[in-house]
């Protein structure tokens, strides 16, 4: 390390966020990055620790600790400190296909496992990553580098989310001819239509996929496999097929009145919000909006937070976010030590904005919806909530959240957004493919691999592992690409 005492000399300095009341006026990204000189100091804080858990990326007691991509973080932090941005980019690209995505949307598992964070503030690894990749683009370093030789093999990738893009990128660099089929009008999957602009502006996706096209990847949009293209055609025309369709089945809420007009899945609401920002294209938005409405978001995760932030930008009258689980502690419990992922309460951008606009945190813990009420025209007018408490099932010994009798409350609601996660694959699609699903409706990996029960068909990302993070989807897409390459060539060069 060039600055062995940097972690003692420099304090953590993060990017400056635009104030909540100002940033809600648009859908733009809202962090202003420090200067490169300041970023060098932040790189100097990396400790050259004996065991860099930041790049470990494996599970500790069921929770991932460190980067699933195994990014060479201490190496490029040191290069950043020395001002060697080009070599830092080269080291970053050895493990990461899309640092321009992860530096914006990843929850920074690396920082939660940072040794410096055990007694002090962790290194600003995610923002250091952003400084490196943006420098590379601005200075013409991050540019197309097509493979010099082709293998003569072709691969169809179904889905252009993070895992599909990662698999396509690696397989193309190996020299295979890759065709990516995307049912939507634009490339990106949930990167484009599930993550709102203020977290990931869509020009970032376009910038990268343009380079991928220049390198030889073929993107075919507006074509749904099973409808516009048959599975039989894919199996006939390509040497291998990779399913990277994510988990398209959202988890629903079963309660009386669910059919009321004004209840939507979060993914549909966020997709439409993004489409409303486009001024071109053939696919028109449905016009879903929170403007002048009392909004209830069901779900306390990242997607629920995105619904809060989007609703506020659209001009919601009020926003409440329901969370089934108890309120997390402010600090780690003894049972949740470093370097495990910290199970603590966090204040995300949507909650910050709700506090600024409405004067209170929108989250209500240990609560769920018992009933949806509608008016005589069938439109949603309110929800009846019920409080929950944790109890142990005497038969199974499992902890369960059960309703508290007499705790019902009625909340005015003209728009409900269900952000309760995803279940898995559509069974009809799996039947078309001819591949088996497991009990959680994810594609079965034969003998723990990415190969499905259908010959020459592989699976990657959430369709393989179940709903997870963007960074994990990228890592799984890369792992699937290695198996496909080995299947096609008898060994892998990836």
Rounded Cα distance between 39 and 124, Å, is 9
Q: What is the pLDDT of residue 148?
A: 95
Q: How many CA atoms lie within 13 A of 118 on its CB side?
A: 14
Q: What is the pLDDT of residue 448?
A: 87
Rounded Cα distance between 456 and 434, Å, is 11
All residues at 6 or more sequence positions from 372 whose CB lies less than 8 Å from its CB, including other chains? 255, 256, 257, 258, 260, 263, 380, 382, 383, 384, 416
Find the largest Cα–Cα distance for the chain.
Answer: 71
Give bridge partners of residue 178 from the DSSP assignment: 155
Rounded Cα distance between 383 and 367, Å, is 12
Rounded Cα distance between 308 and 104, Å, is 18
Which one is the CATH code of 6-138: 1.10.1060.10, 3.40.640.10, 1.10.287.1770, 2.40.50.140? 1.10.1060.10
Helix, strand, or coil (residue 207): helix
Q: What is the pLDDT of residue 439?
A: 85
- Global confidence as pTM: 0.95
The CATH 1.10.1060.10 domain(s) of the chain lie at 6-138
Q: What is the pLDDT of residue 1?
A: 64
The CATH 3.50.50.60 domain(s) of the chain lie at 154-249+423-489, 252-420
Indicate the Cα dihedral angle 212, 215, 216, 217, nearest 10°. -20
All residues at 6 or more sequence positions from 288 whose CB lies less than 8 Å from its CB, including other chains? 264, 268, 269, 272, 273
Which one is the CATH code of 154-249+423-489: 3.50.50.60, 3.40.50.300, 3.30.360.10, 3.90.870.10? 3.50.50.60
Indicate the Cα dihedral angle 261, 266, 268, 271, nearest 10°. 140
Counting as low any pLDDT under 70, the low residues of the chain are: 1-2
Q: What is the pLDDT of residue 281?
A: 82
Query: Which H or E run contains 323?
Result: strand 318-323
What tokens appear for 447 in the block? 């003998």
At the second CATH level, the architecture of 252-420 is: 3-Layer(bba) Sandwich (3.50)
pLDDT in tens, 204-226: 999 999 999 999 999 999 999 99
Query: Tokens 């990167």 correspond to what residue?
Result: 191
């Amino acid at each position: 390390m060039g600055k062995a005492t940097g972690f003692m000399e420099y304090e953590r300095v993060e990017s400056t966020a635009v104030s909540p009341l100002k940033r809600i006026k648009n859908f733009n990204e809202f962090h202003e990055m420090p200067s490169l000189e300041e970023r060098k100091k932040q790189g100097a804080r990396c400790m050259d620790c004996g065991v860099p858990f930041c790049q470990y990326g494996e599970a500790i007691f069921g929770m991932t600790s460190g980067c699933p991509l195994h990014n060479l973080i201490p190496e490029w932090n040191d290069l950043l400190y020395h001002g060697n941005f080009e070599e830092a980019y080269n080291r970053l690209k050895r493990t990461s296909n899309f640092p321009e995505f992860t530096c914006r949307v990843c929850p920074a598992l690396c920082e939660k496992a940072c040794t410096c964070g055990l007694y002090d503030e962790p290194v600003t690894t995610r923002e250091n990553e952003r400084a490196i990749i943006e420098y590379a683009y601005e200075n013409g370093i991050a540019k197309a580098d097509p493979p010099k030789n082709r293998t003569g093999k072709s691969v169809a990738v179904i889905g252009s989310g993070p895992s599909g893009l990662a698999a396509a990128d690696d397989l193309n660099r190996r020299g295979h001819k890759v065709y990516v089929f995307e049912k939507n009008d634009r490339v990106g999957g949930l990167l484009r239509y599930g993550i709102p602009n203020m977290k990931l502006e869509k020009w970032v996706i376009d910038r990268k996929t343009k380079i991928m096209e220049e390198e030889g990847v073929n993107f075919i949009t507006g074509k749904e496999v099973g409808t516009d293209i048959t599975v039989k055609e894919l199996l006939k025309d390509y040497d291998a097929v990779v399913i990277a369709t994510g988990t398209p089945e959202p988890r629903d809420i079963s309660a009386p009145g669910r059919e009321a007009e004004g209840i939507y899945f979060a993914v549909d609401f966020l997709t439409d919000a993004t489409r409303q920002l486009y001024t071109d294209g053939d696919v028109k938005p449905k016009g879903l909006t929170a403007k002048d409405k009392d909004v209830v978001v069901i779900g306390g995760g990242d997607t629920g937070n995105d619904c809060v932030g989007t609703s506020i930008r659209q001009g919601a009258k009020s926003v409440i976010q329901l969370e089934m689980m108890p309120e997390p502690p402010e600090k780690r419990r003894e049972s949740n030590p470093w370097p495990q992922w910290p199970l603590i309460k966090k204040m995300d951008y949507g909650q910050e904005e709700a506090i600024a606009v409405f004067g209170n945190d929108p989250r209500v813990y240990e609560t769920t919806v018992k009933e949806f009420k509608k008016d005589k025209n069938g439109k949603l007018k309110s929800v009846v909530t019920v409080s929950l408490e944790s109890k142990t099932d005497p038969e199974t010994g499992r902890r369960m959240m059960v309703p508290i009798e007499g705790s019902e409350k009625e909340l005015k609601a003209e728009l409900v957004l269900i952000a309760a996660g995803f279940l898995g694959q559509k069974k009809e699609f799996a039947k078309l493919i001819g591949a088996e699903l497991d009990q959680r409706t994810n594609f079965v990996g034969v003998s723990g691999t990415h190969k499905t029960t259908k010959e020459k068909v592989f699976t990657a990302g959430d369709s393989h592992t179940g709903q997870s993070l963007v960074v994990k989807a990228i890592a799984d897409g890369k792992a699937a690409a290695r198996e496909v390459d080995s299947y096609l060539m008898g060994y892998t060069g990836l």
